[in-house]
């Protein structure tokens, strides 16, 4: 079997990974420290002097982390008592075992980018939970909520659109397919709103994304939505059980989460699925990723909108959760550094859970990096090959490109893109719908096989 390519890392000066570790992560840490400073009086009001001492302790731990990162110090074991600390520390030892004589220690500008970037966010969490009584403070809450409020107009336009759709019985199959593609594209471009790429700067959706779908189509580099539709439409027709389950592995809160909830509502309301399972993060992650608080907060704030269609959507969504048609999960695996091909070994319960789905949608760039093990695959590597055996169910990545990693392109496509737009891999300007369809033994063997080019 061909050897797997090397991992992306910050070893290569000028690479996106290098610039992320060198510039973006210190910027994010500085913003976290600033956020804690700005909440000092709140901590005092809530917890008295103890709250002020906690803020000081968290800031000193975060300043130490920033210094370790900026001076390329060795990665050190976690010391908190969280359930996943041992798994993290075992993974650190695994990284150490991969090093050659003379490589030195696992460290920020040497070790795999996926490991050190995930580790940074886990260390931020450690700094907060080691500073009671502010251990439950979400240092990214402010920016996630701000993204939601700043995207209000786009959210209202999207909810109005959803509520104006004619009932399923009045739509032809083609009209249903077109609407499904429209909402899939909106969910895709919702992924541009990502605060870790922007270093925590605002990345709200200020214009109505629906009006720009036509203009954005040339920026979809891989479009397997026909195969996706064949599966979704096929599940409805040939499901062996009454339940048709679609899982969405969420990415960012704010506008992107609303686009995912609108897509989920559509799949249910138009009978393409009977239950939607959402997967979020157990801790604050990559600045904008969804936690259970963000999930509930978002539905609550959509429901309390003063815009009628938006409020109606929020009430419907709250009801889907109450009636068990929408189920929220947050397994700790999603905030570990492991690539997804390790899931059967590291989190067999989660893998078994995903195997119950007819389709698993993975939103965003970090999920794509983990699907691809964050390796430097050739651009024309078949998607299934780069998944390295990960296939709990038919799956689709819906992602805007924000890392120097892409597979499944046609020969010459990457070269053409590099010539026309040197930063095509990392600006979030381009997107994909990349589908890995049913394996031959799966019950739904659909007619359209995704191109494995």
Ligand X SMILES: O=P(O)(O)OC[C@@]1(O)O[C@H](CO)[C@@H](O)[C@@H]1O
Q: Which of 252, 291, 406, 434 binds Mn ion (CB under 5 A)?
A: 252
For the bound state, the minimum distance from the C-beta of residue 197 to Mn ion, rounded and expressed in Å, comes to 8
DSSP 422: T
Identity of the residue, 244 or 290, whose beta carbon is nearer to ligand X in the bound complex: 290
CB of 102 to ligand X, least distance (A): 29
Strands (E), 10-160: none
Check binding of 403 to ligand X (CB under 6 A).
yes
Residue in 9, 151, 187, 191 binding ligand X, rule: CB under 6 A: 191
In the complex, least distance from residue 400 CB atom to ligand X, rounded to whole angstroms:
7
Q: Which stretch binds ligand X (CB under 6 A): 83-91, 192-200, 221-229, 298-306?
A: 192-200
Is 140 among the residues that bind ligand X (CB under 6 A)?
A: no
- DSSP state letters, 267-325: HHHTTS-SEEEEE-BSS--TTTB-BHHHHHHHHHHHHT-SSHHHHHHHHHHHHHHHTTS
Partner whose binding site includes residue 402, from ligand X, Mn ion, none (CB under 5 to 8 Å by kind): ligand X
Residues in region 154-173 near ligand X by CB under 6 A: none
Q: How far is the CB of 364 from Mn ion (least distance, A)?
A: 5
Among 108, 286, 297, 430, binds ligand X (CB under 6 A): 286
Tell me the two tokens of residue 94. Answer: 């695994």
Q: Does 251 bind Mn ion (CB under 5 A)?
A: yes
- 123's contact among ligand X, Mn ion, none, with CB below 5 to 8 A by partner kind, is none
Of 194-202, 265-273, 315-323, 340-348, which segment contacts ligand X by CB under 6 A? 194-202
- Rounded distance, CA 188 to CA 263, Å? 11
The reply on whether position 260 binds ligand X by CB under 6 A is no
Rounded to the nearest whole angstrom, what is the least distance from the CB of residue 323 to ligand X in the complex?
Answer: 30
Distance separating alpha carbons of residues 337 and 171, to the nearest angstrom: 44
Stretch that binds Mn ion, among 98-106, 139-147, 282-290, 419-427 (CB under 5 A): 282-290
**Minimum separation from the CB atom of position 42 to Mn ion (A):** 26
Minimum distance of ligand X from residue 295's CB (angstroms): 16
Q: Is 286 in the site for Mn ion (CB under 5 A)?
A: yes
In terms of CB distance, is 338 or 402 closer to ligand X? 402
Query: Can residue 282 be called a binding residue for Mn ion (CB under 5 A)?
Result: no
Residues 36, 43: Cα–Cα separation, whole Å:
9
Contacts of residue 283, defined as CB under 8 A and 6 or more positions apart, other chains included, come to 121, 122, 125, 291, 335
CA-to-CA distance for 375 and 110, rounded, in angstroms?
Answer: 14
Pair 248, 264: CB distance under 8 Å: yes
* Nearest distance from C-beta of residue 271 to ligand X, angstroms: 30
Indicate the residue among 297 and 362 with the shorter CB distance to ligand X.
362
Instruction: Name the residue whose CB lies closest to ligand X.
Output: 402
Q: Which residues on adjacent β-strands are paired with residue 7?
A: 375
Please give the backbone phi and psi of residue 74, each rounded to the nearest 5 degrees, phi first.
Answer: -60, 145
**C-alpha span between 134 and 121 (Å, rounded):** 17
β partners of residue 275: 245
How many CB atoms are located within 10 Å of the residue 31 CB? 19
Number of residues that bind ligand X (CB under 6 A): 15
Write the burial class of residue 414 (CB in 10 Å: 0-12 exposed, 13-18 middle, 19+ buried): middle
Q: Identify the DSSP state of 410.
A: P
Contacts of 212 (CB under 8 A, 6+ apart): 189
Q: What are phi and psi of 356, to 5 degrees?
A: -80, -10
Query: Hey, which residues between 316 and 375 contact ligand X (CB under 6 A)?
Result: 364-366, 369
CB of 28 to Mn ion, least distance (A): 12
* Binding partner of 184, given ligand X, Mn ion, none, CB within 5-8 angstroms per partner class: none
Angle (CA) 398 399 401, round 5°:
155
Closest distance between ligand X and the C-beta of residue 163, in Å? 28
CA distance 436 to 444: 13
Whether the CB-CB separation of 231 and 437 falls below 8 Å is answered with yes
Tokens 């739509």, residue located:
171
Q: What tokens does 84 get?
A: 């996943």
Partner that binds at residue 191, options ligand X, Mn ion, none, CB closer than 5 to 8 Å by kind: ligand X
Under rule CB under 6 A, residue 250 binds ligand X: no
Q: Check residue 119 for interaction with ligand X (CB under 6 A).
A: no
Asked whether position 22 contacts ligand X by CB under 6 A, the answer is no
Is beta strand 220-223 parallel, antiparallel or unpaired with respect to 431-436? parallel
147: nearest Cα among 276, 346, 297, 315:
297
Q: Taking CB within 5 to 8 Å according to partner kind, which of ligand X, Mn ion, none is near residue 111?
A: none
> CB under 5 to 8 A by kind: which of ligand X, Mn ion, none does 24 bind?
ligand X
Q: Which residues bind Mn ion (CB under 5 A)?
A: 251-252, 286, 289
Q: Which residues bind ligand X (CB under 6 A)?
A: 20, 24, 191, 194, 196-197, 251-252, 286, 364-366, 369, 402-403
């Amino acid at each position: 079997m061909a050897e797997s390519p090397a991992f992306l890392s910050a070893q290569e000066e000028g690479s996106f990974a290098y610039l992320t570790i060198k510039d973006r992560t210190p910027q994010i840490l500085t913003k976290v420290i600033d956020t804690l400073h700005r909440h000092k009086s709140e901590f005092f009001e809530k917890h008295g002097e103890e709250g002020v001492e906690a803020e000081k302790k968290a800031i000193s731990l975060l300043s130490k982390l920033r210094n370790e990162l900026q001076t390329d110090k060795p990665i050190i074991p976690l010391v908190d008592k969280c359930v996943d600390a041992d798994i993290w520390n075992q993974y650190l030892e695994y990284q150490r075992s991969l090093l050659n004589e003379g490589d030195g220690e696992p460290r920020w500008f040497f070790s795999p980018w996926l490991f050190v970037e995930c580790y940074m966010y886990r260390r931020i969490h450690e700094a907060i939970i080691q500073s009671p009584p502010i251990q439950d403070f979400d240092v990214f809450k402010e920016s996630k909520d701000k993204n939601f409020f700043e995207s209000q107009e786009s959210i209202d336009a999207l909810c109005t659109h959803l509520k104006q759709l004619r009932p399923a019985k009045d739509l032809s199959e083609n009209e249903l397919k077109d609407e499904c593609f429209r909402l899939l594209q909106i969910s895709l471009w919702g992924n541009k709103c990502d605060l870790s790429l922007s270093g925590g700067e605002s990345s709200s959706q200020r214009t109505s994304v629906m009006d720009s779908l036509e203009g954005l189509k040339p920026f979809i580099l891989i479009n397997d939505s026909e195969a996706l539709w064949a599966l979704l439409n096929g599940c409805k027709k040939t499901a062996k059980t009454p339940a048709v389950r679609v899982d969405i592995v969420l990415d960012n809160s704010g506008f992107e989460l609303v686009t995912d909830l609108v897509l989920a509502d559509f799949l249910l309301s138009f009978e393409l699925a009977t239950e939607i399972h959402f997967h979020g993060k157990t801790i604050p992650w990559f600045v904008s990723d969804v936690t259970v608080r963000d999930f509930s907060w978002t539905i609550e704030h959509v429901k309390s909108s003063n815009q009628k269609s938006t409020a109606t959507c929020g009430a419907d969504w709250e009801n889907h959760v109450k009636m068990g048609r929408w189920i929220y999960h947050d397994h700790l695996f999603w905030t570990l550094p492991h690539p997804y091909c390790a899931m059967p070994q590291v989190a067999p319960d989660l893998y078994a859970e995903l195997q119950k789905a007819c389709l698993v949608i993975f939103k965003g760039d970090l999920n794509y990096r983990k699907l691809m093990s964050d390796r430097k695959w050739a651009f024309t590597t078949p998607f299934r090959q780069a998944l390295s055996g990960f296939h709990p169910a038919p799956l689709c990545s819906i992602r805007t490109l924000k890392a120097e990693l892409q597979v499944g392109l046609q020969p010459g496509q990457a070269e053409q893109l590099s010539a026309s737009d040197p930063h095509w891999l990392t600006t979030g300007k381009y997107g994909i719908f990349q589908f890995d369809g049913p394996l031959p033994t799966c019950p739904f063997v659909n007619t359209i096989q995704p191109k494995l080019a």
